[in-house]
Structure formats: C-alpha cells, structure tokens
Amino acid sequence: LILIFFILSFIGILNHEMWRDETQAWLLARDSSNLIDLYQNLKYEGHPGLWHLCLFFIAKFTDNPFSMQLFHILISTASVYTFVKLSPFNIVEKTLFTFSYFSLFEYNLISRNYNLGLFLVLFFCYLFTSQNRNYILTSLSLAFLANTNIYGLIICLCLGLTLIIDTVRLYKIGQYQLDNKRIRNLTIGLIILFLGIGLSIFQLFPAAVQNTT
C-alpha cells in the first residue's frame, strides 16, 4: 500500500500544475533572505509558519518548486505509513484511507500546509495510545501541529486538553504514578505545549496597516 501510494503520488506531481496558493508559499519562502525576512513576509498569510519554514530551508538548496512537491508527497507517504503500519484497522479500511480523496489528492498532490498537520495528528494518536506514553514527544507533536495552520491550532487545543484530562484520569484510577522523572517529563511537556500554542497565536495576528495618506 505504501509503495503503491508513493508511486501514484510521484506520477501525480509530475502531471500536476501548481495552483496559486501552492506557488505563493514557495515564493514567500524562496524570496526571504533570512528568518526575520520570512517572518515579515508571513504577516498577512493568516497561518503560522511551520510549512513556510520547511520550504525556506529547502529553497536554500534549490529554487526548483518541484522540490516542494517531492517533500510534500514524502510527508503524505509518512502519514500513510503511520496509518498503515501503526493503526489497529483492517486491510480494507487501511486501503480505503490510503486511496481516499483527501489522502491521495487534496492533502497530497496539492502542496499546502494541511498534510503536515494530518501527519502530526496521526503521529500524536500513535504516541497517545502507546503503553509507555512519552509526554515530551507527545507535547512536541502538538506544539508542531499548532504551528501548521489555524485548523491545526484548533485541533491542538482539543487534543492537548484530551491529553491533560486523560493523564488526570489515569492518575486517579492508579494507572499512572507520579515520581520525580514523570513530574519532570510532564512539566517539560506542558512548557513545550504552551510555548507552541503561544507561538502559533502570536503569528496569527496581522501587522497593523500603516496609513500613508
């Protein structure tokens, strides 16, 4: 499934003419001379800049936008890998997800920031259901999710609250014991989560428009 998905995706981007919003993100990243310049260029985009940051580093090696498309389908393939290899669903359900409209086209061939958010949601689900939950890595996945786009921020808030409530529940029923190491991990995880949310919100406020008249 994973290999077939990647092959079809690669054929797809070879025949996909980039849309304006795809090109917009690439040009903003390519034409930013440094990170401060990138931040200034993103003030009116309405989304946090994690996707643009990835493109910024890619554009330092090549100015060919095909590199963005290739990077994007690699993220898509990582999402499919996470779902196929780590989810509890049967082969039919995994196949339907892999070749669904959103997985194969909308969040794959169109290079935007949404697929990065999808991957982080799936990765969070895997970490959340792990027997030995790593709170630092789980919180880090949510912090990155909050900085993909405004929808990722909303989902991050919901999943972050779910993580906190579930941790309290496990503690009350005696399945989660607090020792110094776990308290430290929880504290670091919460700091990472709140910093990620705060950074995302900070980027969403547009710059004030100066009146030149």
Q: Is the pLDDT of residue 182 over 60?
A: yes
Give the per-residue pLDDT at 121: 97
Give the per-residue pLDDT at 175: 74
pLDDT tens for residues 63-101?
999 999 999 999 999 999 999 999 999 999 999 999 999
Mean pLDDT of 156-183: 88
Give the per-residue pLDDT at 179: 79
Q: Is the pLDDT of residue 4 over 90?
A: yes
- Counting Cβ atoms within 10 Å, is residue 42 exposed (0-12), middle (13-18) or buried (19+)? buried
User: Who's near 54: CB < 8 A, 6+ residues apart?
Assistant: 71, 116
- Quick one: CA torsion of 53, 112, 140, 37, rounded to 10 degrees? 20
Q: State how far the Cα of 128 lies from the Cα of 160, in Å rounded to an integer.
A: 11
Give the per-residue pLDDT at 211: 53
